[in-house]
């Protein structure tokens, strides 16, 4: 039985995944990658999204593709960067839309731990990456695991908000029962997509909070 260092409520639900042959293969491949060169995030933060947001506390799910691949950025939360790191373009656009939607000031830190601790699961579909090479770990098997996490939420939890940005994330919507949850889809916040229209003015953050409140759930302080 594989002993993965991950938050206990997630461990209980995902242990069956950890015991499958693909996960053993994935673990070996990730270890080899980390041993052979620089990879992100640091090993202890690979499951940070789960560790900061226990299963029963999830309110919102934001799906990213894979971690940032430049030094000092990635710390295991999709779209988030460590304190003191300049905001990547997608995060700038996220903050701008929150400001336009809710009137809140642009934050000084791009560290979204504050969201995770309120129940926002900031999940990358692929949890690791080789330095300077986007999507370099996308074929290792991570998506089998993260899809299982999404399916488990979709099966056991209702009244969640899923924010699916861009074609990749929207491809996960088939797993979610839209009659029991709110699924908000839009273009990706990256400049290439956002500037073509459909990101700014989509009011996803206010719509998310309205849905949570309608279901008696504390809204997110974005």
Please give the positions annotated as active site.
66
Question: Quick one: DSSP state of residue 186?
Answer: E
Alpha carbon distance 191, 167 (integer Å):
15
CA 111 → CA 72, 75, 82, 159, distances in Å? 12, 9, 5, 26
Strand 182-186's sheet: what is its strand order?
Answer: 120-124, 60-64, 161-165, 182-186
Alpha carbon distance 70, 26 (integer Å):
23
Alpha carbon distance 58, 193 (integer Å):
28
Structure tokens at 187: 């273009």
């Amino acid at each position: 039985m594989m002993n993965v260092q991950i938050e206990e409520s997630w461990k209980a639900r995902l242990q069956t995944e950890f015991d499958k042959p693909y996960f053993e293969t994935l673990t070996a491949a990730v270890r080899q990658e980390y041993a052979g060169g620089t990879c992100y995030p640091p090993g202890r933060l690979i499951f940070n999204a789960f560790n900061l947001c226990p299963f029963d506390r999830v309110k919102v799910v934001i799906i990213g593709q894979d971690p940032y691949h430049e030094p000092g950025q990635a710390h295991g939360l999709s779209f988030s960067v460590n304190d003191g790191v300049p905001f990547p373009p997608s995060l700038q656009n996220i903050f701008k839309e929150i400001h336009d939607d809710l009137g809140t000031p642009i934050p000084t830190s791009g560290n979204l731990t504050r969201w995770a601790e309120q129940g926002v699961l900031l999940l990358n579909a692929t949890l690791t990456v080789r330095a300077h090479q986007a999507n370099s770990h996308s074929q290792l098997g991570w998506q089998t695991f993260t899809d299982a996490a999404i399916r488990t939420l979709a099966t056991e939890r209702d009244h969640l908000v899923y924010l699916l940005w861009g074609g990749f994330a929207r491809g996960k919507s088939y797993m979610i029962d839209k009659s029991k949850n709110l699924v908000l889809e839009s273009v990706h916040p990256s400049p290439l997509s956002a500037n073509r229209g459909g990101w700014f003015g989509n009011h996803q953050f206010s719509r998310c909070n309205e849905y949570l409140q309608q279901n008696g759930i504390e809204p997110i302080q974005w």
